[in-house]
Every structure is written in structure tokens, then in C-alpha cells.
């Protein structure tokens, strides 16, 4: 399956081992949350001002961390997603 939503190339992916979610980080400065059964995103996170170069789920699946070339590391709450 091909998932399309980012406006620029994807630099990183992360999957949570206990849920059906995965996340992608892109040069378009956004992080997107996905599930394999949907072809569109569950949620888009926008705050970084440069390319996203790393993402990782917290082991409990309630948070997602993203790092960017802007020097920020952001911890996103996924409870509402």
C-alpha cells in the first residue's frame, strides 16, 4: 500500500509495537499519524520550522516524540488522536 499525504519526501518512520499506529516525519516540517487500514492521516502535527529527522513512540503509546533540524524535540500527546 502507498500512503500519500506529505508534501515533501519522508525522512523517518516509527511504528508502535502494541497498536495499529505508525508515524512519518517529512521535509514538509510535519509529523503525520496513520493506521494501516486508512489511506489518509489520523492526525497531522505541525510546529517544527525545519525538516523532521527523527520520530519515536513512547512505549505506552500515548506520546510521540519528534526531532527536527530546527533543534526542537517535541513530545506530542496522542490521547485525542
pLDDT at residue number 1 = 46
Per the domain annotation, does 2 fall within a domain? no
Full domain range(s) for residue 33: 10-77
Q: What is the pLDDT of residue 17?
A: 85
Is residue 44 one of the residues assigned to a domain?
Answer: yes
Q: Is residue 4 part of a domain?
A: no
8-62: per-residue pLDDT in tens?
A: 778 898 999 888 899 999 989 899 998 878 767 889 999 999 999 999 999 999 9
DSSP notation for 31-53:
EEEE-TT-SS-SEEEE--SS-EE
In this predicted structure, what is the pLDDT of residue 4? Answer: 63
Tell me the HSE value of 35 on the side-chain side, using a 13 A CA sphere. Answer: 8
Q: Using CA atoms, how far apart are residues 29 and 16, in angstroms rounded to an integer?
A: 21
Q: Span 58-77, mean pLDDT?
A: 96
Amino acid at each position: 500500500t502507498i500512503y500519500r499525504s506529505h508534501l515533501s519526501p519522508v525522512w523517518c518512520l516509527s511504528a508502535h509495537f502494541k497498536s495499529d499506529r505508525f508515524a512519518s516525519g517529512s521535509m514538509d516540517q510535519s509529523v503525520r499519524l496513520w493506521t494501516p487500514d486508512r489511506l489518509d492521516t489520523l492526525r497531522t502535527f505541525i510546529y517544527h520550522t525545519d525538516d523532521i529527522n527523527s520520530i519515536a513512540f513512547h512505549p505506552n503509546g500515548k506520546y510521540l516524540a519528534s526531532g527536527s533540524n530546527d533543534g526542537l524535540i517535541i513530545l506530542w500527546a496522542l490521547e485525542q488522536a
